[in-house]
Structure 1
Amino acid sequence: MKFVEPIRDVEKIEEMKSYLKKTSTRNYMLFVFGIYSTLRISDILTLKKKDVLGERLLLIEKKTTKSKEILINPKLRRELKPYIAGLGDEDYLFQSRKGVNKPISRTTAYRVIRAAGEACGLSRIGTHSMRKTFGYHFYERTKDIALLQELYSHSSEEVTKRYIGINQDIMDKAIRNFDY
């Protein structure tokens, strides 16, 4: 598995959104959902319309089997509203073209995000980049690593810092600014 990074540049996030919106509404919504939530791709792909109708999203995380309640960001809710309008309550949000009411696979999601990243000049990007992007920008705005740790269900603040690339940013800045 390759190491992926968050998208640190807000302009690149907008470029990704624009690229995906032109190519596929589903893929655009997948990206927007990913960057506005703390969810792993394995949890995002299991979501159905009925899961996002309320203000909060209730789910059991696939990786940890922990029960999680998440407020759906108002911006994400506005984007979701027209997207889900034509779906039935039991329809998956991110449907595959193969079969009836089947979600896309993790591999398909990875290919979508990876291709969009490459088209926008980003490397070291994958589906986990969406979750990391949320965390990176959340931390940059709030500096609240303890809350972010809680949102991610991480075991320590150090794990969270390493996960979102903050430690790497600090080390890079220290080396860049080092002089005799």
Structure 2
Amino acid sequence: METLPKDAVHLFASRRGGGHFTTTQVYRSIAKAGDMIGNDSIGTHTMRKTFGYTYYQATKDVATLMEIFNHSSQKMTLRYIGITEESIENSIRNISFY
């Protein structure tokens, strides 16, 4: 596991001791937030995919995103973040049969 710098700020900081949440605690917190808004499909995996989609939209840098996700191909990464489905849907919407 990678060691963070001493001045690193955690996205999910613990109220006790200035440490960070465990992955299980983060999962539970996100799931609880989803429950509070009536959405039971939100989780840590959703955040991972949303990060990927947002990063790609901002940078169009598939190679770096592929490394971040440890994927073996750019096609896999694009499919994972939903770019393939979005591209197909957009191309269908833009077709005119008249």
TM-score, normalising length from structure 2? 0.70
Alignment partner, residue 47 of structure 1: none
Match among 32, 38, 45 for residue 112 of structure 1: 32
Q: Which has the higher contact order (CA 8 A, sep 6+)?
A: 1
Aligned length: 94
Shift of 1:111: 2.4
Residues of 2 paired with 1:164 and 1:173: CA distance?
16
Instruction: Supply the distance in 1 between the matched residues of 2:16 and 2:26 (Cα, whole angstroms).
Output: 22
Q: Assess, with a 3 A threshold, how the Cα gap between structure 1 residues 130 and 113 changes in structure 2: closer, same or farther.
A: farther
Structure 1 segment 37-56 matched on structure 2, within 5 A: 52-54=4-6
Is there any run of 5+ residues in structure 1 with no aligned partner, and where? 1-42, 44-50, 56-71, 96-102
* Structure 1 consecutive aligned stretches of length 4 or more whose deviation exceeds 6 Å: none
More strand, by proportion: 1
Q: Is the 8 A contact 1:161 1:167 kept in 2?
A: yes
Distance 1:179 1:125, change over 3 A: farther
What are the ranges of 5 or more consecutive residues in structure 2 without an aligned counterpart?
none
Give the number of the structure whose alpha-carbon radius of gyration is greater: 2
Task: Note the aligned Cα RMSD (angstroms).
Answer: 3.3
Aligned residue type for 1:104? Q
* Aligned residues with identical type, % of pairs: 35
SS at structure 1 position matched to 2:25: coil
